[in-house]
Amino acid sequence: MTIALEAVEGMPEVRPGDDLGALVASSAPRLQQGDVLVVAQKVVSKAEGRLRDLTTVAVSRRAHRLAASLPADPRMVQVVLDESVRIVRQERVLIVETRQGFICANAGIDRSNLGGDDVVSLLPLDCDRSARQMQETIAAMAGTEVAVIISDTFGRPWRLGLINVALGVAGVPALIDHRGHNDDFGAPLRATLVAIADEIAAAARLVMGKTRRVPVVIVRGLDTSASRSGSGRDLIRRRELDLFR
């Protein structure tokens, strides 16, 4: 099996209110049945207006105290608190549970590639809904069924370095469950639950890079037709199974 990764280049700068699905469809010609489009969260947030100007943020006493202990920009800390339901850890960096259910640093808030030092991007309110809407628009314009994964870079608790993961999923499984099947030697598999959507997102980052201005990658050659479509929420470990909450 051969899997190909193709950058979607030449997309215009995305602005609040843009129809991102239409922009992607018009910039990615020759889409094929079964293609998976990995779309960077940053452009989704831009299109949905999920931006915040730090100069307008009213900073609470709690944010000032946390900022002094980290240290960090009090305005940034306030925005993190606004986007979170609880703090998981507050040493060197704020690890929080976001309103969407993700456990990540600084609630996934980012200041890069926004054209202003005081502007930050927030995570989409519902990454799965955003992925579904893009999938429907692209399918209608391209005349073929595709899948969409919205990806973002997350840190990892046991390893150094950032890696792309799937936040929103439409048209492709998030997980492939091999439990209950046998391995090549006939032994039963008991714990093999593959995060296929995360693996696709991580592969796409090899083409996206950080400064190449490639927010969309086509992944072609995957065969996931036998598996049901999943969602980004499938990848969130339930609280009762999480040893670190």
| HEC string for 193-233 | EECHHHHHHHHHHHHHCCCCCCCEEEEECCCCCCCCCCCHH
Predicted confidence band of residue 144 (pLDDT cuts 50, 70, 90): very high
The pLDDT of residue 210 is: 64
Q: 52-120, superfamily in CATH?
A: CofE-like domain (3.90.1660.10)
Given a cut of 80, whether residue 23 has pLDDT beyond it is yes
In whole angstroms, give the CA distance from residue 45 to residue 43. 5
Q: 4-49+124-241, superfamily in CATH?
A: CofE-like (3.30.1330.100)
Which residue ranges make up each domain of the chain?
4-49+124-241, 52-120
Q: What is the DSSP letter of 11?
A: P
Predicted confidence band of residue 157 (pLDDT cuts 50, 70, 90): confident
Given a cut of 90, whether residue 138 has pLDDT beyond it is yes
Predicted confidence band of residue 156 (pLDDT cuts 50, 70, 90): confident
The pLDDT of residue 182 is: 58
186-238 pLDDT tens trace: 566 565 678 999 999 999 999 997 667 899 999 999 887 656 788 999 999 88
SS3 content of the chain, % helix, strand, coil (to 5): 30, 25, 45
Tell whether omega for the bond before 157 is within 30 degrees of 0, i.e. cis.
no
9-25 average pLDDT score: 94
